[in-house]
Chains A and B, each alone.
Chain A
Amino acid sequence: MSPPGRPKGESLGAQRQGSPMGRFALETRGLCKNFGGLTVAANIEFGLEPGARHALIGPNGAGKTTFVNMLTGRLAPSSGTILLGGEDVTGLAPEARVKRGLGRTFQINTLFRDMSVLDNVALGVAERLGIAGRMWRAASAYREVRDEAMELLARLGLADDAGVRVLDLPYGKQRLVEILIALGLKPKVLLLDEPAAGVPSLE
């Protein structure tokens, strides 16, 4: 994130200023990531207030995605602490962080490519509602999942594409599905990793 010499965490939207525990929805303390001798994140002090929107900017290779991956648990930090709603989640698995309200999208589409648009969104909704592990009734019997997924699709103008296989959608719409999956989780903190990356301006 911050190579040696760069001001630590200064490019981030909000900085921690000795705030009381729990003020921030998401907070990092002294977060570092090293790959061998290469430091890609050095001592990041960072805090996001509830309800606020922040942009994290930096050139290619600056470590934005690495930072997001550390926050969401895909990458373990070399040192430091990550707090979600005041709770230390540094050692938790990605799915445990999601359950605590941390959602994300991916810079490169990470979709269920061979599944319908509806199922892509419904998977997240079902997971949030605690229905995804049930195996004795057909998925289609859970109307609340389908209705909520359809509502989300309608919100971004994808209702007509509900039955289309995601792979067959234009790239721009795939990016929207990427965001909708995350919205289906109703996260307290949503990290959008370059949501418009690769989308032609017309789309």
Chain B
Amino acid sequence: MTGSTATAIGYAGSARLRWLELAPWLVAAALYFFAPTYLPLGSYILIMILFALSLDLILGYGGIVTLGHSAYFGFGAYVAGVFAIRMSGDPLLGLAVAAIAAGLLGLATGAVILRTHGLALLMLTLAITSILFEVANKWTTVTGGTDGLHSVPIQPILGMFRFDMFGKVAFLYCLVVVAACWWLVRTIVRSPFGVALAGTRENDVRMHAIGAPVYRRRLAAYTISTSLAGTAGALLTQTTQFAGLSVLGVELSGEILVMLVLGGVRRIYGAFVGPGVYIAAKDYLAQQSPEYWYLGIGILLIFIVMFARGGILGLLDRALARLKKARA
């Protein structure tokens, strides 16, 4: 992509890691060392970053519009919970099982819904999350119904690192998993597959005309994305030892979309900035005005959509471009 995107991808792009790409990890390290009381909030932000990253892969790069991504996040959360309760409390094994299960669900549902476009696709994604929500609500023997899954037993990571009450191990665990998934997404969007995926977003008619298997590519991206969303959901269950119905709600799907738009779609790092700003703003505004904090979020979103297309990172891009121009 050129021009409108911040990340240098494509056949002329560079795959080398830029210094600026280390910024999110430096912020995370700073949080760990200098703000230990915020680690549980930090873990939650990391989980939302992974969730937003998974959405960016299909929405930003693949152009697949969805309002039902919480289905896979929630499915991963419940699979991790049920697996820990009934099979094994090993977190890495649980994470892998949840990722595979969510990916398989994504493959099965994607095989049907990705044959549609536009409004029909949007409605079908909503339907999937609504169906799963109702299954989790009614299947009380497995999911706990409205009570959810409480006190999910999670063993120490690799048998050595026990989840502590201050959330240090949980934070580092989330950090490592999110970093691995970030690297995966970064690799994919810069690969020929990533460029071809962007091509299907830009013009699927032309992609067919150059012999690309558009449907298969979109399905592959959707499967990877849903697997990542399921991983994020599993992380939430494992770090909080709880899985409730809210992880399957349409509200969460909308919220993650807002976070991504806020940070900047199709940039990878928009998925880092958006959840950080959204959750920090939500935390601050809820303290200032517990009743009207949503108003503040709404105004922020209107401002971003109206005046900062490309999200906060788009705004920064333009500011930097102006600065460069002024210097020149």
**Residues of A in contact with B (beta carbons under 8 Å apart):** 72-74, 93-96, 98-99, 103-104, 106, 110-116, 118-119, 122-124, 126-128, 131-142, 145-146, 149, 162-165, 168, 181-182, 184-185
Closest chain-A Cβ to B152's Cβ sits at a distance in Å of 33
Q: Are A126 and B196 in contact (CB under 8 A)?
A: yes
Contact B2 A139 (CB under 8 A): no
Interface size class of B (residues with CB under 8 A): 35 or more
Whether A132 contacts B206 by the Cβ 8 Å rule is: no
Known: A139-B194, A140-B13, A162-B12. 17 other contacts (CB 8 A): A73-B208, A95-B208, A98-B209, A98-B210, A98-B211, A115-B202, A116-B1, A122-B11, A127-B210, A132-B212, A137-B15, A138-B15, A138-B187, A139-B10, A139-B13, A168-B3, A185-B210
Nearest CB in chain B: distance from A92 CB, A:
11
A-B contact count (CB 8 A): 149
**Within 8 Å of chain A (Cβ to Cβ): is B287?**
no
Chain B residues within 8 Å of A182, by CB: 209
Q: Which residues of B contact A111 (CB under 8 A)?
A: 203, 206
What CA separation (Å) do A168 and B15 show in the bound complex?
25
B205 near A110 with CB under 8 A, answer yes
Across the interface, do B11 and A146 meet the contact criterion of CB distance under 8 Å?
Answer: yes
| Interchain residue pairs A-B with the least CB separation, the first 10 | A98-B211, A138-B15, A135-B193, A112-B202, A122-B11, A124-B210, A135-B191, A116-B2, A165-B3, A94-B208
Whether A140 touches B12, Cβ cut-off 8 Å, given contacts A126-B196, A135-B187, is yes
* Contact assessment for A132 and B10 in the assembled complex, using a CB-CB cutoff below 8 Å: no
Q: Determine if B46 is an interface residue (Cβ-Cβ < 8 Å).
A: no
User: Chain B contacts of A124 at CB under 8 A?
Assistant: 210-211
Establish whether residues B13 and A114, one from each chain, have CB atoms under 8 Å apart when the complex forms: no
Q: How far is the CB of B277 from chain A (nearest CB, A)?
A: 25
Bound-state Cα–Cα, A136 to B184, Å: 9
